[in-house]
Amino acid sequence: MSELAGIAAKSAQPAVKTTAVIAASGGLVASFALPASAAPASHPSTKGAPAAVAPVAVQAPKTAAPQAADAFGVIGFKATAKPKPKPKPKPVVVAVPQRTAPVASRSTQRTAPVVSKPAVGGILGIAAQYAGIMYVYGGTTPAGFDCSGYTQYVFRQAGISLPRTAEAQRQATTPVSNPQPGDLVFFGSPAYHVGIYAGNGMMWDSPRTGKAVALRSIWSSDVTYGRP
């Protein structure tokens, strides 16, 4: 009876857990417990504590060696070196010649117009514009002219200044013996009347009260001519 009780007591002991260490492919170590086989019963004739059960060695699964860095998984892609970017070309600096203002030659420089005696047609054309204006004693405008007021106004339009009276105009001009259209014709000395010579014995003038500016014949031989 005592031997049977001892065997039953040994069978009731907890099973020894065997710990196995497996090396995982990722470098982690996992441990887990495996149930130990029940300790074999001692021979009924064996006395004392049961012999220790040797731990079961579990061999860790072999992991494949890490693949080369230039392979991705098992698909077969190979890494290629990224080409180095080409250096940007340096900008080409082109020297632009500075523009300078052209210097005008003396022949092309603009100068203030020089007022000179206009062409004959100019003076006669201006004189003809006032045909029909009635004589007014002392008149110097298109509202009415006397003889010297008329000649003074016509030449002023052409940029030529003349004195106010007939005698003053005679003294201010250059006497000529071969008059040209546009010269002044003076009656008497000192002059009492003045007109604008139009050629062929004709003149423009404002003669006297009751008469108007018109182209008429030179009626006297006692005349002189002057060129403004």
Q: Which residues are known catalytic residues?
A: 147, 193, 205
Write the secondary structure of the chain as one string of H (helix), E (strand) and C (coil).
Answer: CHHHHHHHHHHCCCCCEEEEEEECCCCCEEEEEEECCCCCCCCCCCCCCCCCCCCCCCCCCCCCCCCCCCEECCCCEECCCCCCCCCCCCCCCCCCCCCCCCCCCCCCCCCCCCCCCCCHHHHHHHHHHCCCCEECCCCEECCEECHHHHHHHHHHHCCCCCCCCHHHHHHHCEEECCCCCCCEEEECCCCCEEEEEEECCEEEECCCCCCECEEEECCCCCEEEEEC
